[in-house]
Chains A and B, each alone.
Chain A
């Protein structure tokens, strides 16, 4: 099976940089994804790492180290609208087309003025 650990809450101020870490244990690994979810909303895709290294998408970056079973999401120039829950998720085994997501428990980010 799969399990993921991430901090439950992070608080930061507008304009700052915050890093949300994720460690995982899986029986089969394909990639690490990050999703953002505002209260009452649906998860929306932010970033994906299939290979080691850094992926950058605007203010958001994500990093993966497969040897360490570790990744992080980096949010720069924080804005109030970034207050949300952030989930890391691993893609399941490579059986036919499944590639289901197993989510971590989520990190609630609160951005303060």
Chain B
């Protein structure tokens, strides 16, 4: 089945220790998004790729970066995680003219 996969599902890191979250998709969608979702809140867009074009939201902290080496994979790098970065990180894809986004299961990040 075509899908969006995120690894790992749970990630624990220490304050200030860099961490990378990964997302892969078999849908061959040209747009990929990274969202941050804190407890009982709505998902908040961090950035997205339209093909290889990277687009950063204005209020995304500089601490967060992303890479998309090819259509299938996208990475979220958090350079120096703080306690406030503990959240669920959701990857999503979109293809063609549809507005529908397909979400991966998310990675829950804990910062100690």
Residues of A within 8 A of B (CB): 30-31, 33, 41-45, 48, 50, 87, 91, 96-106
**Nearest B-chain residue to A108, judged by Cβ:** B40
Q: Which residues of A contact B99 (CB under 8 A)?
A: 30-31, 33, 48, 50, 91, 99, 101
* Interface-central residue, A31, A44, A103, A105, by most chain B CB under 10 Å: A103
* Interface-central residue, A33, A42, A44, A98, by most chain B CB under 10 Å: A42
Do A42 and B55 touch across chains, with their CB atoms under 8 A apart? no
* Interface-central residue, A91, A101, A103, by most chain B CB under 10 Å: A101
Do B33 and A100 touch across chains, with their CB atoms under 8 A apart? yes
Could you say which of A33, A42, A97, A103 contacts B30, with CB atoms under 8 Å apart? A97
Do B104 and A42 touch across chains, with their CB atoms under 8 A apart? yes
**Nearest A-chain residue to B106, judged by Cβ:** A42
Do A106 and B105 touch across chains, with their CB atoms under 8 A apart? no
Could you say which of B51, B55, B105 contacts A98, with CB atoms under 8 Å apart? B55
Q: Which residues of A contact B90 (CB under 8 A)?
A: 42-43
Nearest-CB distance from A54 to chain B (Å)? 18
Q: On chain B, which size bracket covers the interface?
A: 20 to 34
Do A41 and B105 touch across chains, with their CB atoms under 8 A apart? yes
Q: Which residues of A contact B70 (CB under 8 A)?
A: none
Beyond A31-B99, A48-B100, 11 extra complex contacts between A and B, CB < 8 Å:
A33-B99, A33-B100, A42-B103, A87-B42, A87-B43, A91-B99, A97-B53, A99-B94, A99-B99, A101-B45, A105-B41
Q: Which residues of B contact A96 (CB under 8 A)?
A: 50, 53
Do A102 and B45 touch across chains, with their CB atoms under 8 A apart? yes
**Nearest A-chain residue to B103, judged by Cβ:** A42
**Nearest B-chain residue to A88, judged by Cβ:** B42
Q: Which residues of A contact B53 (CB under 8 A)?
A: 96-97
Nearest-CB distance from B10 to chain A (Å)? 11
